[in-house]
A and B are shown apart, each in its own frame.
Chain A
Amino acid sequence: MERRLGASALSDPKCAGGIELHVARMTGLAALTLGLLAVAGTFDCAGWLAQRLTDSGRRTSMQQVVESPGAHDISHGDDLLAAFARVRNPEQAPQALVIGNSQQYTASLPPNADASAFAPASLTSDLLAARIEADTGRKVQFYNAAAPNQNLVEALWQGIYWAKVPTTPPRAILVQASFDMFRKGGIRAGFATLLRDPQFARHVDIWAAAHSERAYAPLFASQTRSDAGEPTIRVGESIQERVELAIREAATALAVYRNRQQLRASLLGLLYTARVRLLGISPTSRRHITGAPYAQNIHALEDLLAMLTESGASVYLYNAPVNPKVAMFYAEEHRAYLDAIAAACVAPRCRFANLEHAVPADEWGYWIDGPDPIHISEAGHRTLASALYQAFGPHLLEAL
């Protein structure tokens, strides 16, 4: 039997052989492993644990929402190329576009509510379209291009697509700004999929070259230099890719492989819940917006608004509603943030509305340890749509 397994074992001749394989025991071990692996994917252990960790059994509930590929990015930022391809033809092209974060495509329910008892909720973008139709009789095609935690650099990224690629670009564009967005950075892989559209890739290259002094420029450069837009598995372009794909196809026979996305989401959810419950760092904890992420987002916002306006669209920026029950900001940074986003609208002459207090406290969700800072209920969507209509309605109608 081997004695030492480290580098010092180099001189041990037994390590290179000498003992016969214990076939039966090894087979038993392999069988046990495969057996356990077969059942591993059928029980969501992390999800179960996360549930146990939530506050006195109060569970976050989300209502189903009305979404369609023609009016919403149903990938929620995971694959913009595929999502936008569905609305690229002039006859499907949206007239109005909404760019924002998860507030735009989720609807919260009260804690422990049974989601199946509720009909799917309508979202702000659809409610706004319905309001315009009700008031004017005109049917306006909105497209909701919201993604979770979307930052303004990503908003600029997709903004370049909307302004430069479709033959019929949107005529009105609503951009959501949120304090929380300004702490985020980077461009996710799902957004980078757009690079596989040669037209978009060319425009992004031109944009990156012309804006190399802006704070977000390195983020653009890192995407355009790399093949970050390539999906993890590419379909059948070479023998190597075909083999990898075939093996992954075969792996779907295992429940754990089939359910790996869900299992991963549950594990990340468990880690997040543990952070909230054990470390006391919750989504409502006060946070700074400063440094590089803030500078990148401010520059991206300024350039986004200028570019969209120059493309001929009417652009509307609003500061997103915040749950009145939470205080996430440092007052001085919050003031500076509000001043900065309002100032960003001046030069390109786009309209700005501060809707921070537009949604009352009872139209917000509940999240793990208390009030949800980002997500609103179906009633909240109605309120927000109404506030947007009030703030921008006449100008929107004119633009459309």
Chain B
Amino acid sequence: MLFTSYTYLVFLVLAVLVIRLTRGIAREYVLLAASLVFYAWWDVRFLVVLLGLGAFTYMAGRGIARHRGRPRALILPIAAILLVLGVFKYTGLLVDLINLMRPADSLWSLPGIILPLGISFYTFECVSYLIDVYKGGEELQPLRRFLLFPAFWPHMVAGPILRLKEFAPQLSALGPVTAASTLYGVDRVLAGLVKKLVIANALAEFVDRGFAGDVSQVSGLDSWVLALAFGLQIYFDFSAYTDIAIGSARLVGFVFPENFNLPYHATSPSEFWNRWHMTLSRWIRDYVFFPLNLKAGRRIWLRHAYLVFTMALVGLWHGAGLTFVLWGVWHGVLMVTHRLCQPVGRRLPAFVGSVWGGIGFVATVALVNAGWVLFRATSVSQAFELFGEMFTLQNLTPAYGVNDYLTCLGAIAAYLVAEPLLKKLWDRNPDVTGISELSYWLRPAFYVVALTLTMMFDTTSTAFIYFQF
């Protein structure tokens, strides 16, 4: 079920009503049933994978709890879970790599493997559960409660990636949902819909066209515009999804961690990853990078190598392709470079330091967005063609339509103005339900504007006659 479908909105209203009418164990069953319906709506066959993986993790968790201190009890189930992920997600990549070494007339063909929706997020949560239990965390019992942890519908498909310690206490303390939670949830769902349907989709039209075309003809200026447009598109797309997820969870009484914190305000690549897909960053940091870093000890070069390796894994997790791995390596190299430059920045006088900060901001925005080319390109050669134009700047003639540039400018304005404003409003502490509050009376207007925009832009069939001039 897509978050942007009308079916989801009806599902959400019904689910919220039923969940609020139930208490205790009944509520847990309703939450689980709603999550399974949500998933089955996409493809009922994959419920077997979902439930099977969940039940296996549950059993493995019990085994780990009984045999804490035995690494094998942890490693084997994690390997099994990652094997499932590997079969679904990376078989194609493996076959491609093998085919590179085989003669052209005897290439392996691959039976069509459908990637179960959200399998990457689901498996990461299963893995983190097992590690947390191994480290002394409490098991989540009984099975229905455990299954809810990775399968809870608002975060099942694309996060935020929850930790056991965030989820379990909330499940235990489930009580009536507050009015403030309800309004907060509705606010975030609607904001997410507008961000996705109005802003991200408008950028997508331009970006898809740009990357589908012959990029050898794209000028240096336009290559940067295209990279920036995709950087904005993926931000608005993914943060919109997160808004809807967080809002949906809040409507049934759960608080999810934030996933984005104005990432393009970052002044260094490391800061970017503290603001971008934050729940993935901390997962990778805690379960992959920190253990590797400990292993490296005082060998600085090895720490740097592990950092690049970790980021390459982040890339591979995003997609089974060389472009994704290179995107991860790109970020790894940026972070290592930043670490090497840090001592220089610290030695500078204060006034030069602020200029240094400004340079850091510009460089981070530019290089992070350049990195998006690797993420979005259809092939490595396409990415390098665009890089060639971007970093030589031989041709600065704008060739896209003026509306393409204006769409990007509009998205930048939305990012710079609307996003901080929304964040501020959501972080405030008003009595949002008090009729004496201005926000109580302004809310319906905001809701109507958001709903109207959502309805207007949920289709792609309208082309205004002069719009492209």
Contact = CB atoms under 8 A, between A and B. Distances in A.
A308 interface: no
Contacts, number: 226
Contacts of A15: 178, 181, 253, 255
B177 interface: yes
Q: Range of interface residues on chain B?
A: 35 or more
A290 B399 contact: yes
Given A3-B429, A184-B468, A78 B444 contact: no
A9 interface: yes
Interface in B442-468: 443-445, 447-448, 451-452, 455-468
B7 A243 contact: yes
A78 B217 contact: no
Q: Range of interface residues on chain A?
A: 35 or more
A16 B255 contact: yes
Given A25-B440, A37-B448, A148 B179 contact: no
Given A16-B173, A218-B212, A33 B444 contact: yes
A7 B399 contact: no
Interface stretch (B54-62, B96-104, B400-408): B400-408
Contacts of B466: 269, 272, 283, 367
Interface string B1-37: 1000111001000000000100000000000000000
Given A21-B182, A256-B451, A291-B218, A215 B213 contact: yes
Contacts of B429: 1-4
B317 interface: no
A346 interface: no
Contact of A17 (B173, B222, B402): B173
A218 B255 CA distance: 44
Contacts of B444: 29, 32-33, 35-36
Contacts of A296: 213-214
B286 to A, nearest CB: 15
B143 interface: no
A325 to B, nearest CB: 16
A269 B464 contact: yes
Contact of A260 (B182, B445, B456): B456
A17 B174 contact: yes
B378 A218 contact: yes
A272 B402 contact: no
23 contacts: A1-B429, A1-B431, A7-B278, A15-B178, A16-B173, A16-B255, A17-B176, A17-B178, A18-B178, A29-B444, A32-B444, A35-B444, A106-B465, A185-B209, A215-B213, A215-B214, A268-B467, A269-B466, A272-B466, A292-B210, A293-B213, A373-B469, A374-B469
Given A20-B176, A33-B447, 10 more contacts: A3-B429, A13-B173, A14-B178, A16-B173, A149-B465, A232-B458, A247-B10, A264-B456, A268-B462, A288-B397
Interface of B: 1, 5-7, 10, 20, 41, 166, 169-170, 173-184, 205, 208-210, 212-215, 217-219, 222, 253-255, 257-258, 278, 378, 397-403, 406, 426-427, 429, 431, 433, 435, 440, 443-445, 447-448, 451-452, 455-469
